[in-house]
Amino acid sequence: MKIRKAVFPVAGLGTRLLPASKVVPKEMLPIIDRPLIQFAVDEAIAAGCDTLVFVINRHKHAIADHFDRAHELESRLERSGKTELVRMVREVLPAGVRTIFVTQSEALGLGHAVLCAEHAIGDEPFAVLLPDDLIWNPAGAPALVQMVAESQRLGSSIIAVEDVPRAQTDRYGIVSVGPADLRSARIDAMVEKPAPDIAPSTLAVVGRYILHPRVFRFLHAMPAGAGGEIQLTDAIAALLAVEPVHAYRFEGERFDCGNKLGVVEATMAMALAQPDIAAAVRARMQRLLAC
């Protein structure tokens, strides 16, 4: 289960963050001084991925521009003696890591977005990261690093999960699991966005997956599901019939940056973690709370 390739489905319109996302892709919105997509990319690289597959729509040029070389900018910074900024700009991608951009022509769901990456992935296990879910674990390994180690131990596909309030089960794919082994448990069943009164549990699938390429076979055969879209959850549910898939409770905190509150929470957490501004940010928060 060595994972070399990671898929980033980033073709969505980001309607919950309009009007900011009208021109700027939501994945490029800054969390302090880094675009949201950079956190997911850094996590994939830390987990050993050297091929990054971005599934975009035809309007999202900014994501490709971010990971391309900016020769004019670098030259200006070098002439100004700003070597640290030159290094920062160049190191958005380390040497030896390549990018592939695939266009999703229609917004037909997460399952369809992953299927668009099939030719780039080939016949090997791969990761899927949803940049909306910023998972932060400053005291330990990033979430995908944890999951790669667990998938190698188990020899199976594995998906990240966390408990959510029952009233929110209709926002997520929900799993039911067998007996837990530390942080992992074999999945018995999955359902996409069940109503709270029929959800099999409150264990929700969040934006990290390690999948066997056999999942593409089920995606090809999958009819439209919840919301009229091809759901990745439905394909994984079909995969359960032929091989084990495990749920993994990761270490770290997830910020749902697909909505305004999540972006604010992530920005506050990252600001308080930066030594050069943390004290001033904390003081400002205290003044605002006192008003």
Instruction: Name the helix (H) or strand (E) containing 286.
Output: helix 278-290
| 196 touches 232 (CB < 8 A) | no
Mean pLDDT, rounded, for 180-187: 85
Question: If you search the block for the tokens 């369809």, which residue do you land on?
Answer: 112
Q: What pLDDT, on the 0 to 100 scale, is given for residue 226?
A: 62
Percentage of the chain exceeding pLDDT 70: 98
Question: Where exactly are the structural domains of the chain?
Answer: 5-290
* Predicted confidence (pLDDT) at residue 99 exceeds the cutoff of 80: yes
* E strands present in 36-119: 51-56, 98-103
- 196's tokens: 């709270």
Question: At CB < 8 A and 24+ separation, what contacts does 31-34 make?
Answer: 31/134, 31/257, 31/263, 31/266, 31/267, 31/270, 32/267, 32/270, 32/271, 32/274
pLDDT digits (tens, 9 = 90+) for 219-262: 998 877 666 788 898 899 999 999 999 999 999 999 999 999 99
Distances (CA, A) of 29 to 19, 21, 33: 12, 8, 10
Categorize the per-residue pLDDT at 107 as very low, low, confident or very high, splitting at 50, 70 and 90: confident
| 245 touches 215 (CB < 8 A) | no
Judge: domain 5-290, CATH 3.40.47.10: no
pLDDT digits (tens, 9 = 90+) for 7-33: 999 988 778 887 878 888 889 999 998
The whole-angstrom distance between residue 277's C-alpha and the CA centroid of its chain comes to: 27
Mean pLDDT, rounded, for 125-137: 96
- Residues with Cβ within 8 Å of 229's Cβ and at least 6 positions away in sequence, in order, are 107, 108, 109, 110, 111, 112
Q: What pLDDT, on the 0 to 100 scale, is given for residue 218?
A: 94
